[in-house]
Chains A and B, each alone.
Chain A
Amino acid sequence: MSFLEKPQRNVDLTAYDGKIPVHYKYTLGLAGDKFFTAIKKDGKFVGTHCEECDVIYSPPAIYCERCFASLEDSWVELPSSGTVVAFTVVTEDDQGKELHCPQVIAAIQLDGADNVFIHRVCDCCIEDLGIGVRVQATFKPKKERKGTLDDIEYFEIATE
């Protein structure tokens, strides 16, 4: 193709259609299994605690990334509340289509944990949302929970 010859549309050249015909089933892992079981059964967050580094991971890990200690027996319960450290309001989906209802996504510093947790915030809270605002997880009713991230309906601005 010469330098000046520029096909303008990506269907102009002869092509074969291709596809990678696979999909994925990811295991939750040892840590993920406990994390999502606690949410499903008890509507609670759990994490793992490295005493050596004094770090609490939630979502948890079975090892401390800093010192490599095993955290398999170092589980702690955490409140389902936290503080917003960053947020965004999403108006287009991943295909560039406008969302019917804007989606609020936040990085939430869970109380007691050392890492932030990424989840939705209820769009009813959009007016009052800001950095440092206290939020609380709302779980789906127990019988609807499946042990997945969607068991957390969203976070809402904490009432107290």
Chain B
Amino acid sequence: MGLRKVACVGAGITKFVRRAKETGRELAWEAAKMALDNAGMTLADIDCVVIGSAPDAFDGVHMKGEYLADGSGGFCKPVMRHFVGGGTGVFSPIHAWQHIASGKFETCLVVTEEKMSSCFPAPAGAFITIFDHTTEQPLGPTLIWIFALEMNRYMQRYGLTEADIAKVSVQNKFNAIDHPAAQLPGKITVKDVLNSEVLAWPVKRLDISPASDGAAAIVLTSEHKARRITDKPVWVSGVGWALDTAYWATRDLYYPQYVEKAARMAYEMAGIREPDKEIHIAEPYDPFDYKMLHHMEGLLLCKRGEAAKLVADGVTARTGRLPCCPSGGALGVGNPIAATGLMKIIELFLQLRGEAGKRQVPGDPRIGVAQAWGDLMQVGTVVVMSR
């Protein structure tokens, strides 16, 4: 295609917390500085900066990209901010990939941030205007309506129970115990999930990831730069992004077409024909427990309706055949929206380098996929990384 190879050579992440004392730009700097240090680089080595951050209404800062620019290393550099809602964090490396693959830049600092705790009484309030102002808003919808309807549709389509789905939350929160940035790690049981407060049936408190403050950053470079920086580059070997219908209520809620479209694009670029056999490790977006299942199916990691069985059988556990969310995911590590997607990319980076410490997936994984989901619940962003 005439595109250059792009490598990830460094990563940094702040702790994900409910309420950070730091400002958003301070969080951005902590993650960005850590990523540069990890790569053994300085700001002078960086050609351009991309910033991923979800709605301005979370931080309460309009033009959040500009606000975050100095903490993200954007001083006197070409800076671009992108935003595809919850899909932002996995779109961030795609955006940076374009800068480098095109030949325009050699190095790019990729910074994602969210400070949801600024928003009172709850970040959910900022979501009201994503609903259609005349056909939906008069009903007083909340974001959880969408997920409740979608989860219910998914359950009835495949005959799944709430307990089948709760196992995802149990797995991911357990995995998060070993993640140093984690906000909500823990040993919980299916019963704990089922007994937690019902928010909009069938969605319960422990089916959901928390609102979080946090930032994450990586450094991407061209191939020849990467070879000089590290002997362990991790390649961005496939990228894909897609929107299905522009309106959430005009698609069938049981299947994430948006992910499949994006995944096929990324797999084609990465030369992956049988994702269920060729992918060693996956980080599907899991802001809700059923969404990890949904997204595993959209990523073609299993047949439709079979994801819950893989979780129940331990296939998706860190020691299973196809580890899913070995990081602990959004459910366990936390969900500062844009930073969550990049946290997943960072997990692949560390796992593929064999540097994930206690979280290290056995068996020397070489190919991983990360995915996020967002906009009005219909955008899919997918990145394949390999060693």
Interface residues of A (CB under 8 A from B): 16, 18-33, 61-63, 65-68, 70
Q: Which of B26, B120, B133 contacts A31 (CB 8 A)?
A: B26
Asked if residues A20 and B118 are in contact (CB atoms below 8 Å), the reply is no
Q: Which of B116-130 contact A (CB under 8 A)?
A: 117-123, 125-126, 128-129
How far in angstroms is the closest Cβ of chain B from A93?
Answer: 20
Determine the residue in chain A with the shortest Cβ distance to B27: A29
Chain A residues lying within 8 Å of B73, measured Cβ to Cβ, are: 68
- Chain B 281-298 interface 0/1 with A at a Cβ cutoff of 8 Å (1 = within): 000000000000000000
Asked if residues B57 and A63 are in contact (CB atoms below 8 Å), the reply is no
* Complex interface: stretch among B17-25, B246-254, B318-326: B17-25
Determine the residue in chain A with the shortest Cβ distance to B213: A27
Asked if residues A29 and B21 are in contact (CB atoms below 8 Å), the reply is yes
Given A18-B137, A20-B57, A68-B36, verify A29-B125 contact (CB < 8 Å).
no
A32 to B22 Cα, complex, angstroms: 9
Given A24-B60, A24-B118, verify A68-B20 contact (CB < 8 Å).
no
Q: Please, could you name 15 A-B residue pairs with CB atoms under 8 Å apart, sorted by A?
A: A22-B60, A22-B123, A22-B126, A25-B117, A25-B118, A28-B23, A29-B26, A30-B23, A63-B33, A65-B70, A65-B71, A66-B76, A67-B43, A68-B33, A68-B73
Cβ of B32 under 8 Å from chain A: yes
Asked if residues A16 and B133 are in contact (CB atoms below 8 Å), the reply is yes
Q: Which of B22, B57, B71, B137 contacts A27 (CB 8 A)?
A: B22
A19 to B57 Cα, complex, angstroms: 13
How far in angstroms is the closest Cβ of chain B from A64?
Answer: 9
Cβ of B201 under 8 Å from chain A: no
A33 to B119 Cα, complex, angstroms: 20
Determine the residue in chain A with the shortest Cβ distance to B29: A63
Additional A-B contacts beyond A22-B60, A31-B26 (7; CB < 8 A): A21-B128, A22-B121, A22-B123, A65-B75, A66-B76, A67-B44, A70-B33
Chain B residues lying within 8 Å of A33, measured Cβ to Cβ, are: 21
How far in angstroms is the closest Cβ of chain A from B31?
Answer: 12
Chain B residues lying within 8 Å of A18, measured Cβ to Cβ, are: 128-129, 133, 137
A24 to B117 Cα, complex, angstroms: 9
Determine the residue in chain B with the shortest Cβ distance to A70: B33
Chain A residues lying within 8 Å of B29, measured Cβ to Cβ, are: 62-63, 68
Asked if residues B137 and A68 are in contact (CB atoms below 8 Å), the reply is no
Chain B residues lying within 8 Å of A26, measured Cβ to Cβ, are: 23, 60, 118
How far in angstroms is the closest Cβ of chain B from A17?
Answer: 9
Q: Which of A30, A33, A63 has the most CB of B within 10 A?
A: A63
Chain A residues lying within 8 Å of B126, measured Cβ to Cβ, are: 20, 22
How far in angstroms is the closest Cβ of chain A from B128?
Answer: 6
Asked if residues B120 and A23 are in contact (CB atoms below 8 Å), the reply is yes
A67 to B36 Cα, complex, angstroms: 12
Q: Which of A19, A24, A27 contacts B119 (CB 8 A)?
A: A24
Asked if residues B26 and A62 are in contact (CB atoms below 8 Å), the reply is yes
Asked if residues B125 and A22 are in contact (CB atoms below 8 Å), the reply is yes
Q: Which of A32, A65, A68 has the most CB of B within 10 A?
A: A68
How far in angstroms is the closest Cβ of chain A from B23?
Answer: 3
How far in angstroms is the closest Cβ of chain B from A115?
Answer: 11
How far in angstroms is the closest Cβ of chain A from B278?
Answer: 39
How far in angstroms is the closest Cβ of chain B from A81?
Answer: 26
Cβ of B161 under 8 Å from chain A: no
Asked if residues A21 and B26 are in contact (CB atoms below 8 Å), the reply is no
Chain A residues lying within 8 Å of B25, measured Cβ to Cβ, are: 29
Q: Which of B123-164 contact A (CB under 8 A)?
A: 123, 125-126, 128-129, 133-134, 137-138
